Amino acid sequence: MAADAAALLLTALGEAGAPRMGRAARHAGIVVVAALLAAVLLLAALGCALAALWIEAVPRLGPAGAALVVAVCLLVLGLAALAVVLRRRPGPPTPVVIPLGELTRANKATMLTAALIAGLCVGLGGNRR
């Protein structure tokens, strides 16, 4: 039932997107919806697995022991997710390359005006102390 609803939603997003919406934007919307659906289903599966573990552990460990086992499982999963997040370090930023030669040749007046305004702003900003 949920899979049918998800398939219908994904089809509707793919075919009935806004007329001006490009193919890449529709694809991005479909990917976002699919990722959210996958996250919800993953959380539901995790909840079911933890409930089954609790039910199985209660006769052997008692209510407090079962709660402790489930809490330890959640702690391990949380620490694993935290380790994944902390391990991902961003690389060096990619430098932005602006073709200044071409930009200044095509827009000389605009570039000179911008330089003049920037110089005035910097000059006036230094005297405010």
* 87 or 21, which is more confident: 87
In the prediction, which pLDDT does 110 show? 82
Q: How many domains does the chain have?
A: 2
Would you state the pLDDT for residue 114?
84
The pTM assigned to this predicted structure is 0.48
Judge if 75 and 129 occupy the same domain.
Answer: no
Residues 50 and 110 in one domain: no
What amino acid occupies position 36?
L
Asked whether residue 80 falls in the same domain as residue 17, the answer is yes
Is 17 within a domain?
yes
Q: What residues contact residue 104 under an 8 Å CB cut-off, 6+ apart?
A: 111
Residue 38, in any domain of the structure: yes
Query: How far, in Å, CA of 90 to CA of 77, rounded?
Result: 23
Q: Are 66 and 54 in contact (CB under 8 A)?
A: yes
Q: Identify whether residues 83 and 110 lie together within a single domain.
A: no
Q: Residue 29's domain spans which residues?
A: 1-88
Residue 81 resides in a domain? yes
Euclidean distance between CA atoms 129 and 50, whole angstroms: 63
Closest listed residue to residue 54, CA positions, set 65, 43, 41, 44: 65
